[in-house]
Amino acid sequence: MQTLNKIEKELLEQISSLHNIEECSVNIRKNGQCVVRKTNADIEIESKKDKEGINIFVKDGTKNKGCHIPVILSVSGLTDTVYNDFYIGNDVDITIVAGCGISCGGGKSEHNGIHRFFIGENSKVKYIEKHLGLGNGGERVINPVTKVFMKKNSECNMITTQISGITDSKRTTFARLGENAVLNINETLFTTDNQTCETHFKVVLEGKNSKAHIVSRSVAKDNSKQNFFSSVIGKNACFGHIECDGILTGHARIASTPKIDAGCEDALLVHEAMIGKISNDQILKLMSLGLNKEEAEQEIINGFLSSKI
Amino acid sequence: MLTIKNLCYKTQDKEILKDVNLVFENGINVITGQNGTGKTTLAKILMGIVTATSGQILLDEKDITKLSIDKRAKLGVSLSFQQPTTFKGITVFDMMKLANKDIKTIKDACTYLSMVGLCARDYINREIDKNLSGGELKRIEIATILAKGGKVIIFDEPEAGIDMWAFDDLTNLFLTLKDKIVIIISHQKRIMEISNKIYLFNKDGEIVVTDKTKLFKEVEESKCSTLRSQNANTK
Ligand SMILES: Nc1ncnc2c1ncn2[C@@H]1O[C@H](COP(=O)(O)OP(=O)(O)O)[C@@H](O)[C@H]1O
Ligand SMILES: [Mg+2]
């Protein structure tokens, strides 16, 4: 087993702070290799035979368990592509923590994590994903792909954040919801300098009474660029809501391209998007409490990015 | 002592405040008068949010006319807004801590929420966003200003949106501040009743300085139709 150096430990800490869960199964991947693996009777992890990645099997009825699968890249010149599939049984309640931390000095490192979730009936999944880059110069690229297939009465709460150090990314999320399935996604993005970030959401509300609620909060600073694409398709009696809320500072740019497509008269789909600079009223209010303009802006951005669903 | 000298405020098409000369002393000062007479504008000018066209503002002997909002805030000028600002992701607790650096624990913050009649536990971690009702926002706004404290504390229509039964608490609260310069913009008789001085803003830009006994008498004798019609509306 390879041990982790100081920077690697710091990355790990930041992307995968351990949560209050009875027992966790763990798979830590470093520079393209699995360095730590811990499984248990309820959550099995096996390496894929045909390509890089793992299969995770969660037994029916597993409750209050956690699974951590962080990825660390600490060398430059590496492109790590990994396929992780989660097979989640029925009546499960689980928290999955994934994420990628890159520290590559002056070169370029890239991580492409393709995650698929097959969620069984009546199961509840909380998925937390953090992406982080450390260090100056160089390119730290992350292209996460997340696909979620949800059976009857299942629930999935996804919290994804990419708030610092990733130079370029293309984030793709696809979900298909069965009857009564509920999907909540809360995405937080913060780009600075010349970073670019593209987000694609496609949600198909296939089952009767399925519900999706997607909130993307983003801040674009300096010369960074963000491009947000969303598509919600309602094929049954369902409810879909997408909200894209962006704050711009400096010469940054945020574009939002929504698409809502309802093919059933009992489908209700809503899209909201708002992009603008920091509200002047908010700045004035905080200044009247004694903060200077810069402090006020910082507090507003911190709050905005920490907001919960 | 807060002194306003020859203060004017004009927009392109309108003269909102013309040659205002006022002195506010410690105690409860109530500003009243019809909508649109420039009461909120004056409050914003005192806070530094709006810049006067001309004139001077002195806090004690210090000229604060050209000071920025945050500098005035640090000198002890505080304003509870008529329309509270909403945020995304900033909680009541966060806001209290921003208003007063000595607030460190939830317990510290709860003191101020209780003062405005909010069950602290229910609100402390709420975000100050549009999910709060107008009355709740207003109370949180007042609690924030109480937490901040100061030498000159201005409340712009604090009663708006607050249910009538809470009025005694509100007036008692203002009375606890009477060793400071408290300026309350209000239409409520019960707030005027606790005042030391009343400033009546008239439509023609004139400001009449009076006290409650005189004012109520004039209202009775219907000399002052303005205020009479107003109190009828708010009853
Ligand atoms: N930013 C502004 N630009 C132009 N006119 C304004 C502005 N703010 C307020 N006013 C006008 O100034 C007048 C006084 O407003 P305000 O001070 O809010 O009155 P009050 O608080 O006494 O009801 C009103 O006629 C209002 O329409
Ligand atoms: Mg007003």
pLDDT tens for residues B100-110?
Answer: 999 999 999 99
Q: Are residues B132 and B190 in the same domain?
A: no
Q: Are residues B70 and B105 in the same domain?
A: no
Q: Which ligand number lies closest to the CA of residue B16? A: 1
The answer to whether the CB of B187 is under 6 A from ligand 1 is: no
Q: How confident is the model at residue B224 (pLDDT cuts 50, 70, 90)?
A: low
**Gap from A42 CA to chain B (nearest CA, Å):** 36
A289 contact residues in B (CB cutoff 8 A): 73, 95, 98-99, 144, 148
The verdict on a CB contact (< 8 Å) between A299 and B90 is yes
Give per-residue pLDDT as tens, B111-142.
999 999 888 889 999 999 999 999 999 999 99
d(CA A221, CA A304): 14
Closest among A161, A98, A175, A182 to A307, alpha carbons compared: A161
Structural domain contains residue B82: no
Nearest to A291 among B47, B70, B78 (CB): B70
Q: If you ran DSSP here, which 8-state letter would residue B164 be given?
A: G
Averaged pLDDT, B205-234: 70
Which structure tokens are listed for A167?
A: 């130079």
The answer to whether the CB of B36 is under 6 A from ligand 1 is: yes
Closest among B128, B129, B187 to B155, alpha carbons compared: B187
Nearest to A289 among B68, B91, B99 (CB): B99
Structural domain contains residue B8: yes
pLDDT of residue B37: 93
Choose one of B148, B179, B196: the last residue of a domain.
Answer: B148
Domain count, chain B: 2
Which structure tokens are listed for A165?
A: 């150090």
Choose one of B148, B163, B195: the last residue of a domain.
Answer: B148
Structural domain contains residue B166: yes
Q: Which residues surround ligand 2, an ion (CB under 5 A)?
A: B 40, 82
- Most A CBs within 10 Å: which of B90, B91, B92, as the mutation test of the A interface? B90
Q: Are residues B154 and B230 in the same domain?
A: yes
For ligand 1, the distance from its centroid to the CA atom of residue B44, given in whole angstroms, is: 11
Residue B214 CB contacts under 8 Å (≥ 6 apart), including other chains: none
Closest among A163, A227, A181, A179 to A201, alpha carbons compared: A227
CB-based burial, A38-61: b 16+ in 10 Å, e otherwise: eeeebbebeeeeeebbbbbbbbee
Q: Are residues B180 and B218 in the same domain?
A: yes
d(CA B154, CA B157): 10
Q: Are residues B129 and B185 in the same domain?
A: no
Q: Are residues B117 and B181 in the same domain?
A: no
The answer to whether the CB of B233 is under 6 A from ligand 1 is: no
DSSP sequence for A154-183: -EEEEEEEEEES--EEEEEEEEEE-TT-EE
Q: Which residue is it, tokens 């810069």?
A: A294
Cα first-last separation, chain A: 39
Nearest to B81 among A285, A304, A308 (CB): A285
Nearest to B88 among A281, A289, A304 (CB): A304
Give per-residue pLDDT as tens, B25-84.
999 999 999 999 999 999 999 999 999 999 999 999 899 999 999 999 999 999 999 999
Which structure tokens are listed for A236?
A: 């049954």
pLDDT at B215 over 90: no
Q: Are residues B160 and B221 in the same domain?
A: yes
Helix B225-234 to helix B212-220 angle (10° resolution) is: 90
For ligand 1, the distance from its centroid to the CA atom of residue B203, given in whole angstroms, is: 12
Per the CB < 8 A criterion, the answer to whether B208 and B34 are in contact is no
Structural domain contains residue B140: yes
Choose one of B109, B125, B148: the last residue of a domain.
Answer: B148
Structural domain contains residue B81: no
Q: Are residues B69 and B9 in the same domain?
A: yes
Q: Are residues B101 and B35 in the same domain?
A: no
pLDDT of residue A309: 45
**Number of Cβ within a 10 Å radius of residue B35:** 9
pLDDT of residue A23: 66
The verdict on a CB contact (< 8 Å) between B73 and A285 is no
Give per-residue pLDDT as tens, B80-97.
999 999 999 999 999 999
For ligand 2, the distance from its centroid to the CA atom of residue B81, given in whole angstroms, is: 9
Structural domain contains residue B104: yes
The answer to whether the CB of B230 is under 6 A from ligand 1 is: no
Closest among B90, B151, B39 to A285, alpha carbons compared: B90
CATH classification of the domain holding B39: 3.40.50.300
pLDDT of residue A20: 47
Domain range for residue B35?
A: 2-76+150-234
Q: Are residues B164 and B57 in the same domain?
A: yes
pLDDT of residue A243: 93
Q: Are residues B93 and B190 in the same domain?
A: no
Helices (H), B77-224: 92-99, 106-115, 120-123, 134-148, 167-175, 189-193, 212-220
Q: CA neighbours within 13 Å on the CB side: how many for A6?
A: 0
The verdict on a CB contact (< 8 Å) between A290 and B81 is no
10-residue averages of pLDDT along chain A (309 residues): 72 68 78 88 93 95 91 90 97 93 86 96 96 87 96 97 92 98 96 96 98 96 96 97 94 95 96 94 98 96 80
List A247's β-bridge partners, or say none.
Answer: A219, A276
Q: Are residues B17 and B70 in the same domain?
A: yes
Structural domain contains residue B190: yes
